[in-house]
Structure 1
Amino acid sequence: MSIHVKTSETLVSVGSDQLFVKRYNPQDTPTSKAILFIHGSIEGGRIFYSLKDTGLGPWLASKGYQVFIPDFRGRGKSVPKISSKSSHNQYDAIEEEIPAIIHHIQSEIEDVELNFVTHSWGGVWLMSHIARHPELKVNRIVNIAVKRSISIKSFKKWFEVDLIWRRIGGLMTTIFGYFPAVEMKIGQENESRGVYADCKHWVYAKEEWKDVTDGFDYIEEFNHRLDVPPTLYITGINEYYLGHQIDVKRFMKEVNGKQDKFILLSKDNGFAHDYDHINICTSKSGQRDHFPLILSWLKDKDCSQWENSHV
């Protein structure tokens, strides 16, 4: 199914780095409603759109939103690429890159209604930024397959996370000077050694969520917040550890949002597929399956209809 939208590309400066931003606009009357998409670790913004401009990002643009999809530092078309000289860490993603893109959107759209859609670790970065900035006005958030730590125990998790990602990945990071996910054939994008180290620390700090750089306690902050933007959490039944429903719900409890909802995408719940970590964003069936639910969430001011819907 073709999607009719207008596209443009730009670079946003963050220090000496340039973040690539893909923008999709509806073809009809310009709108003040915007969505900032945030990708996860070892991936780029392409998780949200294809080379033919299909996917969740363009689809939401066709429904009336101005969509901004960045590649964070060193990933995708951002420059320079990740290398042994890359010195940025997770704090920089939270406190430099996200604010830079938000400022860009606010400079482009007057009186913008700001929404967010994230995938995987991108949701952890976003909610970390939300915790630090209660003054930020946000309409709604959609977190897709987002977890901060992994509690699931299985051979697949042990082999792919504990052995390959943590142990062998740590050794390869020492050798290369950055986390070579592409060379290891376990990801679409490489990570700086700082981002990799910080991410690893949070994944294994199950009961604690504190910033490695300045010690900011995110759980403590959220425990006192009553104004967390309404957030929809979605994951697939075929998430074995990267976004398992148990860990997604654990993250929801850490954020402690008062208007949050959860949807599990499975055939038993009436969806077209038993979705996994990738096809939850890329499947062509999404346009008639769960993408409309995401659109409804972004538009809905009354959460009551969600109480018994697909949960």
Structure 2
Amino acid sequence: MQSSSELFPVALISAELRGDLTEDVYRLKPGNSPDPSVELVLTRLGRFGHEGARGVPVILVHGSFSNRRFWYSPKGLGLGPYLARAGFDLWIAEMRGHGLSPRNQHYRRNRVADYARYDLPAIAAFVREQAGQAPHWVGHSLGGTTLAAALGGHYLGEEDVASAALFGSQVSRVYWPLKMPPVAWGGRLLLKRFGVLSGSWLKRGPEDEPIGLALESMRWHGLFGRFGDAERDWWAGLADVRVPVLAVAAAGDLQDPVWACRKLVEQVPEDCRHFLRLAKDEGFSEDFGHIEMLVSKAAEREVWPLVAHWLKHQALPGAAQAAEALAL
């Protein structure tokens, strides 16, 4: 089968018409990581009849225990279809072993370090090849954390990122028991007995997560832990970022609290960083939660138009502009 890319093998595995949207699904085999079995699936959404006039590319990255359906429901609803209908060239990434992306040979060892160092750069390269320009990125929860790791580790550069929006993403929430070496050692020994964390069993979502992610997170939050890997300090590297970065936090988010989301974006230089808090006292209809900040009727009315505005202008709207954005 002929590859859809000159970069590495890419197969167009389906091309469908979903109502007023076109849906093209690509399977990438970058071959750029120590595990050569890794394959990644990207879903591209566009407006039917406008295939020759696609807008600027936008890549959505889901969080933990999730897949493309966080952004794009089977009924054609979600932030993904909204942005596609607004004229953006919309791409939805699914991480190793999530959704349509098959589990790789060393699935249980997968880490954010692998996503950031190998997978996101491959996705960026393919989207740039297809769209002819640097994409904008939107990540939720672990998806945003992975974007921050890729930016701080300099795995994604200015040619790969027009802007980045991080929703409910942080690495600063303190888990005090993990600061105690005996507890951390015991926890690691226990976790190593498992291959995956079950999203359905934990009631966290439809997907499983590899145990490697949990072990990596424990290291970040340990006594001498840091947001990085053995080679690079991603936290320190964020100070060198030169692309616009928006952090969005929800007042009702107990998992990734506002202060921690703000602390992450404050590592980015002041002239590149933007922050938005979704709360009643900020003029929103409710104190949004971790999921509801992007998946809810209120988010559809109040948050999605602000996302579209950010993607067009890389800035948050003023009062008058906000009213105009919400009226779209």
Shorter chain as denominator, the TM-score bin is 0.7 to 0.9
CA distance in 1, matches of 2:68, 2:223: 27
Task: Give the paired residue count.
Answer: 292
Q: Distance in 1 between matches of 2:44 and 2:188?
A: 35
1:35-54 counterparts in 2 under 5 A? 35-54=58-77
- The one of 97, 101, 108 equivalent to 1:74 is 97
**Contact 1:172–1:179 (CA under 8 A) maintained in structure 2:** no
Q: Does the C-alpha gap of structure 1 residues 144 and 302 become closer, same or farther in structure 2, counting only changes over 3 Å? A: closer
Structure 1 residue runs without a partner (length 5+):
159-165
Is 2:252 aligned against 1:231? no
**1:10 maps onto 2:12 in alignment:** no
Q: Quote the residue 1:175 is aligned against.
A: 193
1:58 aligns with 2:81: yes
Q: Does the CA-based 8 Å contact 1:71-1:78 persist in structure 2?
A: yes
Q: Decide whether the 8 Å contact of 2:163 with 2:314 is kept in 1.
A: no
Structure 2 residue aligned with 1:141: 164
Matched, 1:191 2:212: no
Distance 1:167 1:270 in 2: 45
Q: Name which of 230, 235, 257 aligns with 1:244.
A: 257
Q: 1:106 aligns with which of 100, 104, 128?
A: 128
Shift of residue 168, structure 1, vs aligned partner: 10
Structure 1 segment 288-303 matched on structure 2, within 5 A: 288-300=301-313
Deviation at 1:273, TM superposition (A): 2.7
Whole-angstrom distance in 2 between the partners of 1:259 and 1:74: 33
1:117 aligns with 2:138: yes
CA distance in 1, matches of 2:196, 2:91: 27
After superposition, residues 87-106 of structure 1 pair within 5 angstroms as 87-106=109-128
- 2:292 pairs with 1:279: yes
Bigger shift: 142-151 or 259-268? 259-268
Aligned match for 1:210, one of 217, 224, 228 = 228
Aligned partners of 1:88 and 1:18: how far apart in 2?
A: 13
CA–CA separation in structure 1 for the residues paired with 2:221 and 2:195: 21
TM-score (norm 2): 0.77
Task: Tell me, yes or no, if structure 1 residue 259 matches structure 2 residue 275.
Answer: no
Give aligned-pair identity as a percent.
23
C-alpha displacement at 1:141, in angstroms? 1.6
1:153-195 alpha-carbon deviations (Å, 9 max, x no partner): 9xxxx9xxxxxxx999867633332333333333332222222
Query: Which 5+ residue runs of structure 2 have no aligned equivalent?
Result: 1-17, 31-35, 178-183, 324-328
Q: CA deviation at 1:117?
A: 0.4
Q: CA RMSD in A?
A: 3.3
The offset of 1:87, in angstroms, is 3.2
Amino acid at match of 1:234: V
Offset at 1:293? 0.9
User: 1:51-106: CA deviations, max 9, x gaps?
Assistant: 2121111111111111111210111121127x986333222111111112112212
